[in-house]
Amino acid sequence: MKVPLLDLKPQYQSLKKELDAAMLRVAESQYFILGPEVEHMEKEFCEYLGCKYAIGVSSGTDALLLALMAIDLQPNDEVIVPTYSFFATAGVVSRLNAKPVLTDVDPVTFNIDPEDFRKKITSKTKAVLPVHLYGQSADMNTIMEIANANNIIVIEDAAQAIGTQYKDGKSVGTIGHIGCYSFFPSKNLGCFGDGGLVVTNDQDLAHMIKIKRVHGGEPKYYHKVIGGNFRLDALQAAVLRVKLLHLDSWSKQRRKNADSYSKLFIDSELAEDTGKTEFDEKNKVLLPKAVYNNADVINYHIYNQYIIRVEKRDELRDFLSKNEIGTEIYYPVPFHMQECFSNLGYRKGDFPIAEMAGEKSLALPIYPELTNEQQQFVVEKINEFLKD
What is the pLDDT at residue 62?
A: 97
Q: What is the number of other CB atoms lying within 10 angstroms of the CB of residue 162?
A: 31
What digits encode the pLDDT tens for the residues 306-329? 999 999 999 999 999 999 999 999
Quick check: 388 pLDDT over 70? no
pLDDT, tens digit (0-9, with 9 covering 90-100), for 6-53: 999 999 999 999 999 999 999 999 998 989 999 999 999 999 999 999
DSSP state of 347: -
What would the mean pLDDT of 376-382 be, rounded to a whole number?
97
What was the pLDDT predicted at 297? 87
**382: Cα within 13 Å, side-chain hemisphere:** 32
Strand order in the sheet with 125-128: 53-57, 196-200, 178-182, 153-157, 125-128, 78-82, 99-103
Helix axes of 60-70 and 88-95: crossing angle, nearest 10 degrees: 40
pLDDT value of residue 229? 95
Question: pLDDT tens-digit profile of 325-342?
Answer: 999 999 999 999 999 999
Q: How confident is the model at residue 190 (pLDDT cuts 50, 70, 90)?
A: very high
Digit-coded pLDDT (tens) for 355-376 = 999 999 999 999 999 999 999 9
Residue 295 has pLDDT above 80, yes or no: no
**Confidence grade of residue 298 (pLDDT, cut at 50, 70, 90):** confident
Cα–Cα distances in angstroms (integers) from residue 179 to residues 5, 35, 355, in the given order: 28, 22, 27
Q: Which residues pair with 101 in a beta bridge?
A: 80
Does the reported pTM lie above 0.75?
yes
- Cα–Cα–Cα angle for 194, 200, 206, rounded to 5 degrees: 85
Mean pLDDT within 231-249:
97
Q: Give the tens place of pLDDT for each residue, 275-292.
A: 899 999 889 999 999 998
Interval 106-157: pLDDT, tens: 999 999 999 999 999 999 999 999 999 999 999 999 999 999 999 999 999 9
Distance (Å, whole) CA 285 – CA 311? 8
Do residues 181 and 156 lie in contact, with contact meaning Cβ atoms separated by under 8 Å? Answer: no
* Structural class in CATH, domain 9-244: alpha beta
Tell me which DSSP letter residue 344 carries.
Answer: G
Cα 184 to Cα 108, 188, 217, distances in angstroms: 26, 9, 27
Q: Is 158 left (phi over 0), alpha (psi -120 to 50) or beta?
A: alpha
DSSP string, 358-373: HHHEEEEP--TT--HH
Q: What is the DSSP pairing of strand 153-157 with strand 196-200?
A: unpaired
Select 247-387's CATH number: 1.10.357.10, 3.40.800.20, 3.90.1150.10, 3.40.1440.10.
Answer: 3.90.1150.10
Domain segments of the chain: what residues? 9-244, 247-387
